[in-house]
Structure formats: C-alpha cells, structure tokens
C-alpha cells in the first residue's frame, strides 16, 4: 500500500448536503479498493485561479489515504468522468527521507501567502509566492537556535497555473530552481532590486501544514519553461 493525496474541486452549485454525499462517495471508492482514509480536510468554497467549465469558484476537499496503485488508478478514473468534479490533483506522498548523521535539522518550506497569478502582455502565466525556509541548529556552545529565511518564488507556464490553483498559505512545498535578480525603477525614480528563485520544479507536500496537473499519482511535477524575454515584463 502507498500513501496518496488527492485534492478535488467540486461544482460550487452543490449544496452542503450534496458535498457531504460526494465526500462519502470518495471514501467509498477508496474503501472499495481496500484503501484507508487517514486525513480529510474540507477547505470550502474558493475562487479559482482561472475559469473551469464556466465556473469561477469551486469547493475544495483534500483527502489523504493509503491504497494500492491499481486502486488509485480506479479512484482517478472515477473522478475524471464524474460530472460534479471540476478538476482534481492526485499525487503520491513520498516518505520522509532519513537525514544524514550530523545534517542540520529543519522543517519543510511553507508558503507564507496565497500564490498570486498574473499574465504577461503576451499571455504567458506567471505565479509568485513566498516560502519560509526554517532551520534549527546547535552552536558550538551547545545553544539551540532557530532561524527563518523568506524567499520569493516565481513560476512560469502551466506549472504557474497549477501552483495558483492548489498551493495555499501554510502548505509545504519543495522547489528546485535558480537564483536570479530582478531590478526596476519606482515612479519617483528610485532604483530597486530583489533576489528571487525561478522555480523549475515544484512539488506540493502533503497536509495543510496547507493546493492542469499530472493525473498520474506518481508523475513528477512538470518543469516550468524558461522565463520569456525582456519584452514580457513580470506584472508584479
């Protein structure tokens, strides 16, 4: 059995009773494949990053459960054809890797604000959000210390829309990318600059410690394209 997480976006026109019925249906699909629900979160109605099936809002539900790969495929097959489902994101939750002896301790990076999705003049999607990177360490004097670093992440293309749709403040994420510096001039003529990370690969971490996408539960997150040229200014 493997650990999976699925975020389902339901039709906002559903009543509360209907949503509860859909949740029970999802639990039934999991149980039918001998799976077991470990965690269920009702995020409620939220505005979508972009329109789906002529809807601007959706009801979000997160479910974490164990199941076999075959059972997971059957759950996805049902979600894909079920009319009340606007969209879903299903991922396999990786087991935490064992730290090397002597490695610094820390916690997963977490988003400190909801992602902000914008479009360049040429129509390219770009999403920005901030991550809090925490680290705990012990000094030579034996004193325990904690420190946090805030990093702005910029993601482009299809992955930008996925981040805007599923990532939320407080949810953990792993980001692979490259460091870049952005410079601009304020209306009063002052020059400003900022270091950012251009995310090339974003992986959502489970739980709401806090959600287009690869439908396969074990698929790797897609890599974002290189940022457009200078003519596509970031609309922030």
* Residue range 187-204, pLDDT digits in tens: 888 888 878 888 888 888
Cβ atoms of 207 and 184 closer than 8 Å: no
Residue 10 is predicted with a pLDDT of 93
Domains and CATH numbers, the chain: 2-92 (3.30.70.60), 105-204 (2.40.50.140)
pLDDT bracket for residue 224 (50, 70, 90): very low
* Residue range 127-182, pLDDT digits in tens: 988 888 777 778 788 888 877 778 888 888 888 888 888 888 888 888 888 888 77
Cα gap 9→42, rounded to integer Å: 11
Cβ atoms of 139 and 112 closer than 8 Å: no
Cβ atoms of 173 and 165 closer than 8 Å: no
Residue 49, φ and ψ in degrees, nearest 5: -65, -30
Cα gap 31→13, rounded to integer Å: 27
Give the number of other CB atoms < 10 A from CB of residue 145.
9
Residue 28 is predicted with a pLDDT of 93
The pTM of this model reads: 0.52
Cα gap 162→183, rounded to integer Å: 27
- Directed axis angle between helix 16-32 and helix 69-81, to 10°? 150
* Residue range 9-60, pLDDT digits in tens: 999 999 999 999 999 999 999 999 899 999 898 888 888 777 778 888 889 9
Two tokens at 145? 């210390």
Residue 234 in this model has a pLDDT that exceeds 60: no
């Amino acid at each position: 059995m493997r650990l999976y997480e699925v975020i389902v976006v339901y039709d906002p026109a559903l009543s509360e009773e209907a949503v509860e019925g859909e949740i029970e249906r999802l639990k039934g699909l999991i149980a039918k494949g001998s799976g077991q629900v470990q965690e269920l979160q009702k995020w409620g109605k939220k505005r979508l990053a972009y329109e789906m099936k002529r809807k601007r809002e959706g009801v979000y539900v997160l479910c974490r459960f164990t199941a076999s790969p075959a059972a997971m495929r059957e759950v996805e097959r049902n979600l894909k054809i079920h009319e009340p489902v606007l969209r879903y994101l299903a991922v396999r939750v990786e087991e935490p890797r064992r730290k090397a002896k002597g490695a610094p301790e820390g916690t997963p990076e977490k988003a400190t604000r909801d992602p902000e999705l914008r479009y360049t003049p040429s129509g390219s999607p770009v999403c920005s959000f901030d991550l809090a990177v925490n680290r705990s360490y012990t000094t030579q004097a034996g004193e325990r210390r904690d420190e946090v670093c805030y990093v702005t992440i910029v993601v482009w293309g299809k992955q930008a829309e996925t981040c805007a749709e599923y990532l939320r403040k407080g949810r953990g994420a792993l980001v692979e990318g490259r460091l870049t510096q952005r410079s601009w001039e304020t209306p009063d003529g002052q020059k400003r600059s900022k270091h950012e990370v251009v995310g090339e690969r974003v992986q959502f971490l489970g739980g709401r410690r806090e959600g287009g996408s690869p439908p396969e539960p074990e698929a790797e997150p897609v890599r974002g394209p290189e940022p457009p040229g200078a003519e596509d200014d970031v609309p922030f």
